Each structure stands twice: as C-alpha cells, then as structure tokens.
Structure 1
Amino acid sequence: MKFTQAIPVTVSLRDLQTNSVPFTTLLSAFGPDSLGILVVTDLPATFPPLRSRVLSNASRIAHLPPQTLDSLTKPSAKYLVGWSHGVETLRPGVVDTAKGSYYINCAFYKDSALNGADGSKFPGFEEYTAPNVWPPEDEQAQQGGVPGFKNDTEDLIKLIIDTAVLVARACDRFAESEIDSYERGYLERMVRDSETTKARLLHYFPTEPKTSETNGSAANGHTNGAQLEEKDNEIDDSWCSTHLDHGCLTGLTSAMFLDETASPQLEELPSSPDPASGLYILSRSQKIHKVAIPRGALAFQTGEALELITGGRFKAVPHFVRGVDSSAVKGKGRIARNTLAVFTQPNLDEVVDLQTNLTFGEFARGVVKKNTAG
C-alpha cells in the first residue's frame, strides 16, 4: 500500500478564539481539494492529563469481567450507548471484532441535567435518547471498576466540544460569505446546543500473530496488516474500514499506544511500534495519505452533515485506520491502540439539506441501520 505522509493544516486555539483564521486556511483544511482535517494546538493545560487518564481507561474497560461488560451493553440503544463489541459491520457480511467501543451521549454539554436527548421529542431514536451507563467506580469490587472514569471522560468531552464550537464559528464566517441563504451562526448553534452529539472511546485490541488457520483470510471478522498481501492499489483498513463520518465535525485525540502486558501501569508508548499503523485519509484523487495528530493537539474532521449544510463548500473525506502489524511487534508485548472521537451532530429535527429538507434524524437512521450487524 503506497502512501504519503501528510502535514495537516494547523491553527492555534488562540487563532480560533480571536476569529483570525483566514478563509484560505479553512479551504485548505476542509475544502473540495483538502484532506478534510484541521489540527488545533495550544490547548488548555488540563488537556494532556485528561487525555492520558481517559485513553488508558479504554484498556481497563475492555478487560473488565464479561458480566460487567454485559451489564454495560445496551441492545435497545442499537449498541450505541455503553460498551459495544462485535456488532458493527466493517463491510457487507464482515463483522468487526478488532475493536471495542464505549459510546456516550453528550447532551450533558448543553444541560448538565440531561443524560441523553429528550425521548419525548425524538421517539424511536434510543441510540440518542437512552441514558448513559458507566462502569463501577470501585476497582476492588468483585465485578471490577474504573475509578474517576465518568468525571474525566465528561470533562474531556466538554473540552473537545468547546473547541469544536470555535471551529464551527470559523466555518460559519466562511459560509455566511459564500451562501446567500445561510443562517448566521448556524453551525455554531448546532454544535453548541445539540442534544445528540455522540462520543466514542475506542479500544483496538492487540493484533494476534498470524496462524496457519488465518493465513490468507480474515480472522475473527477482520484482517490484520500481516495478513494482507501488500499491493500498491490495496487499502489495508484492518482496524477501521474506509468510511465517512456522518456528523458535522469529528473531534479526535491523538492515538495512545499501550503495551497491555505492562498492566496495571499501562504507560503510553512514545509511538507506535509499527510506523505504518495509524490514521489514513483517501484523497479525491484516490491517493492515500497518512496523518499524525500531535499528542498535545486535537484534530477535527469533516462529516457528511457539514458537507450538506455548506452545499459542498466543505467536503467529507473517506478515512480509515491501519492496524499494528503483528510481525512489527513480535517480542515487544501486546500493543493496543486507544483514542476518543467526539461526533458533533445536529439535533435530530434539524434540517441539514436545504434542497430536500432532509433532517439529521432521517439521515442518521439510515447510516446506523447500514452499519449495525443483525
């Protein structure tokens, strides 16, 4: 798989706060010829320790006792609240077992009393209206626990959405200058006031070494990097298949790589032991670009709703995650990858396509159905 190392467009938090991001910079980051990603640096001092605690806890959650994980799994919410594993389709007929997810409804950002969107306003959308579930706090309890996880995770999500609001404000300034019918402050309002923003804490399980049983085929519903024959035109999206986000702006932390044999310390490795693993973006010309997010920064990717809202001025871009090749970590432990994505999304009754009056709820329902197994 041939790829180039891309340098993403970068702005400082101060640039966003002072409304001084040039339109040319936004077009370079999100426009028709862009990679659909903007990196924000110089974040508050609270960010690094929050990131460290939350991402390392993704490994702790993934290894809670099965009965605890069962209690945190919510089929009634289409597995999009709490723990989720083995129910997402990578592609037709292929179920993803390479990663586990912990989903969180972020309505608390709008109102601390909310634990999910108002179900009376959005009937039939349990994935957004179901209350959040959290693992026990007492790690000494028989069922296992993760102390401080709820508070730390909510604080990190709030910081990410605070930053997304500023990115949205910059996008509004551009859209107001380009689109005659564009409502002033539209995207910022949707990001700031949404009850349906969704966070996903991801744990990519350590890649197992190739065996004779898995040689040349997908093992357990996925294929790791060592199992793919390297071809110039072949995309190795072994940990997260090529896809578009369907919200407005997706806030991403940099990935944390951990050697899980070092438990319980779970100290972050300086970098991935496999330099080819990580986040990749597929450009309009079908070229593959690898993108690294600095550890102390946040990245924001464009989603399909943003493309609809801006009439195509900003474009959603396909992206995927390439797994750690088991041969690259042979003898170096069991390497896991953890990260947090916050999908800022409009309320379900918000119109996202002014041409067809399509609401975000109608749009999202089809996406969830397509991506959930069963």
Structure 2
Amino acid sequence: MNAHQAPVAQPVTVSFRELVAGPFSPNILTEAFGPSSLGILVVCQLPEKFVHLRKRVLSSASYLAALSEAELQSLESPESKYLVGWSCGKETLKSGQFDTLKGSYYVNCAFHQDSSLDSAPADGFPDLPQYTAPNIWPPSDRLPGFRSDIEELCSLIIQVATLVANACDRYAENNIEGYTPFYLRHVVETSFTTKARLLHYFPSENDTEENASDDDWCATHVDHGCLTGLTSAMFLDEAATPPVLESPDPAAGLYIESRTGEIVKVNIPKDCLAFQTGKALELITRGKFRAVPHFVKGARRTGRGSRIARNTLAVFTQPNLGEEVEPGLTFGEFARATVQKNY
C-alpha cells in the first residue's frame, strides 16, 4: 500500500483533564496501546499556553534553518555525533542514504529536573556525549526567546507525558506479567536523558508523485526511547508572504504502521499532542508495548515557485543511562548501539 491509498486513522483521544482526574476506562488504554491498536494516544484540551508556545517554537524552526551556513556550523556538535544542537545530512535511516531533507535541532532536557543543567550527568558514561555534551544555543539576538520558548514547551510536554505514562502503567500492570509498578512514570519523572528534537523538513525538489517515495521526508523507523510526545506539524510555503498555511497536499505528513501491520495516516490537531511508544519500552515490556514504525511523506508542489516546508517538535522520554531496559543491558549501552547504527 502506498501513502495515497492509506486510510486516515482516528486515534484514541483523551482530554488533559481526564488524564489529571484518572483513572479512566481500561478499554481506552487497550484501544490506544493494545495488540490491535494504532499504538498512539492523542491528548486534547491542553493548558492554554500550549497553543502559543507551539506556534512560536515551530515558527522558529524555519528561522533557524535559514541561518547562514557558518552560523549553523557553529551550532553543530560533532563530538556528540550531531545529537546536540544543529544536524542535517548526518543521519542514515534507509539503506545507508543520508537524510538530507530534514534539519534537526537537538536539546537535552535535563533542565526539566534541574534548571542549572544543560545535559545528563556523565556518571558512569564518560564516553556518551550524545547525552552528556552540553546544549548549544543560538545567539539571543539572532533568535530572541528561542531558548526560553523551547524549554517551556518541552517542560509542558514532559508534564503531559508523565500523566500518559501513569495511564500506561495502569494498563501494563493489568496486562503484563511481572511489570514493575509505576515504571514508565518513574522514567518520565526522573530522567535526565529526555531529549527534544525540533524538526525542519526542507521543501522537496520533486515536482510529481511519480518522482517521490512515500518516506522522502523521513524514512521508516522506530524511536529508541520509551514514550514520544509529538506536536502537530506546521506547514509553510517559504516562497509566500506570509509563509504559514495549512498542508497543501493532503497526502503529506505522518504515517504509522499499526499493531496489525496496516499503514495509516495520522493527523494531529494543532491544539493537541500525540504520544507513541518506542523501542526501549518494547524491550522493557517484552514486546507487549511494540514500538511504532513511522515515516513522513513530503508535500508535492502546489504551483510554480511554491516551496512547502514542515516543522514539528518531538520529545523523547527515556530511562537514565544506567537503568536497564532488559537484564544486563542499560539504556546507555542500548542508545550507544542505536546511534552507531544510524549516525
């Protein structure tokens, strides 16, 4: 099945208020994360500030990507394998091909635990700079408010992720033999390794559908953390003034492979967050919470001169480096092997 033939999914949706009040029907969690589910949960009616923070942060991704080559190089961190600060064309997700249509700005979210920290502590893992190298921020005069907006939005997403994790724990305790109570909530609440990725998908140069693959904006992959919080995407025609617009190509955007193997398109409303499970949680739960394979299809041109880009933010909640994801394997060791494969 190609992307144009894929149905649009209707993911399970709960309100922020329902998560706070909890517990809600276990049927909801089965529909969201069970063996026949999409493996994704959408949270609506978020705190009011979310909408404004999302707009500012996602808009800033285009300004960041438009900085000069010298400025972008100054934001790179080769020592961390480009997993801190700016990264473009460094990742290989498909048959050794470098992913050149996606620019990323990585942020360590240890500030959520301690506002004085710019990275995870290196205790026991002095050779894992992907998590222990400090954040790199653009000069405030070039992108005013960039750092404070990202830190505030990431902290809010982690707050919501904690509530989702609590709900996942209740499901897991009832359905997975030997599951450690409150494990996922513990990961989200105590982690110094949570990492954010602000994404800018550059306009595709392919004019027609025949010239493009379904996963040209981002190849099929699974996240290697536990629970990923994902904003809706912002589409922009960078050749237009003003540039912000709705998606001009209904086939463009995020696709996932459901628990039953079906490829479906997922549309996240602007005022909502989506949460999906990653590989570390799959290992921890012995496959009961399967990681969600997903890819991003690029937008085809809508007219001569149009340049359609896409911005979004993902926050990956992950265990601390020394915590085991399966007997004898720490998250730090698991993450190191994943990075070596893809970078």
Is 1:323 matched up with 2:323? no
What is residue 321 of structure 2 aligned with on the other side? 348
Q: In structure 2, what residue type is equivalent to 1:303? A: G
Change (3 A) 1:71 1:196: same
Residue 16 of structure 2 is aligned to residue 10 of structure 1: no
The aligned residue for residue 371 of structure 1 is: 342
Farther off after superposition, 66-75 or 181-190: 181-190
Q: 1:284 & 1:179 partners in 2: Cα distance? A: 17
Q: 2 CA distance for matches of 1:60 and 1:346?
A: 32
Output the amino acid matched with 1:258: L
Contact 1:253 1:295 in 2 (8 A): yes
Match of 2:190 in 1: 193
Equivalent residue in structure 2 for 1:306, among 262, 277, 281: 281
**How many Å separate the matches in 2 of 1:194 and 1:172?**
16
Q: Which moved more, 1:2-11 or 1:86-95?
A: 86-95
Number of matched pairs? 340
Q: Which amino acid aligns with 2:342?
A: N
What is the CA-CA distance between 1:311 and the residue it aligns to?
Answer: 2.6
The Cα offsets for residues 38-96 of structure 1, whole Å up to 9 and x where unpaired, read as: 00001000001100000000000001011110110000011000000111113123111
Partner of 2:139: 136
Counterpart contact for 1:282–1:319, Cα < 8 Å: yes
More displaced 10-residue stretch of structure 1: 35-44 or 121-130: 121-130
- Which residue of structure 2 lines up, in the alignment, with residue 239 of structure 1? 217
What's 1:361 paired with? 332
Instruction: Specify the code of the residue in structure 2 equivalent to 1:334.
Output: R
Identical residues among aligned pairs (%)? 59
CA distance in 2, matches of 1:304, 1:52: 29
Structure 1's 38 and 76: CA in aligned 2 closer, same or farther, altered over 3 A? same
Segments of structure 2 that go 5 or more residues without pairing to the other structure are none
3-state SS of 1:113 partner:
coil
1:227 aligns with 2:198: no
Whether the 8 Å contact between 2:225 and 2:319 is mirrored in structure 1 is yes
Q: Partner residue of 2:306?
A: 333
Counterpart of 1:38 in structure 2 is: 41
Q: Residue 113 of structure 1 is aligned with which of 105, 111, 116?
A: 116
| Structure 1 residues 116 and 258, CA gap change in structure 2 (3 angstroms) | same
Q: Secondary structure at the match of 1:340?
A: strand
- Deviation per CA, 1:177-201: give whole Å up to 9, x if none: 3345333221111111101111000
State whether residues 225 and 323 of structure 1, in contact with CA within 8 Å, keep that contact through their aligned partners in structure 2: no
Tell me, yes or no, if structure 1 residue 254 matches structure 2 residue 232. yes
Distance 2:235 2:281 in 1: 30
Residue 152 (structure 2) pairs with residue 168 (structure 1):
no
Which residue in 1 is equivalent to 2:101? 98
Alignment partners' CA distance in 1, 2:72 and 2:114:
28
Q: Distance in 2 between matches of 1:137 and 1:262?
A: 26
Q: Which amino acid aligns with 1:69?
A: L
Q: Quick check: 248-257 or 286-295, which moved more?
A: 286-295
* Cα deviation 1:178-227 (Å, max 9, x = unaligned): 345333221111111101111000000011244xxxxxxxxxxxxx8441
Kindly provide the CA deviation profile for residues 118-174 of structure 1, in whole angstroms up to 9, marking residues without a partner as x: 123321110101110111111xxxxxx111000000000000000000000111122
Name the CA distance, whole Å, in 1 between partners of 2:132 and 2:20.
32
Inter-CA distance 134–184: structure 2 relative to 1 (3 Å threshold): same
Question: Where do 5+ consecutive residues of structure 1 fail to align?
Answer: 139-144, 211-223, 229-234
Q: Give the distance between the partners of 1:200 and 1:66, measured in 2 at CA.
A: 20
Partners of 1:41 and 1:332 lie apart in 2 by 36
Contact 1:225-1:238 at 8 Å conserved across structures: no
**Which one of the candidate residues 145, 154, 164 is aligned to 1:148?**
145
Name which of structure 1's ranges 193-202 and 301-310 shifts more when overlaid on structure 2: 301-310
Pairing 1:289–2:267 present: no
Indicate how the Cα distance of structure 1 residues 309 and 23 shifts in structure 2: closer, same or farther if over 3 A, else same: farther
Q: What code does the residue aligned with 2:102 have?
A: K
Q: Distance in 2 between matches of 1:180 and 1:207?
A: 47
* Residue type at the aligned position of 1:146: L
CA distance in 1, matches of 2:148, 2:229: 19
Which has more radius of gyration?
1
**CA offsets per residue over residues 240-298 of structure 1, 9 Å max, x none?**
111111111100000000121246x54x21x2101100111123444210110011000
Equivalent pair of 2:93/2:221 in contact (CA under 8 Å): no
TM-score (norm 2): 0.95
- Aligned residue identity for 1:358: L
- The Cα of 1:331 is off from its aligned counterpart by 3.0
- Structure 1 residue matching 2:8: 3-state secondary structure: strand
Deviation, structure 1 residue 21: 2.6
C-alpha distance in 2 between matches for 1:281 and 1:246: 15
SS at match of 1:16: helix
Q: Give the whole-Å Cα distance in 1 for the aligned partners of 2:26 and 2:209.
A: 39
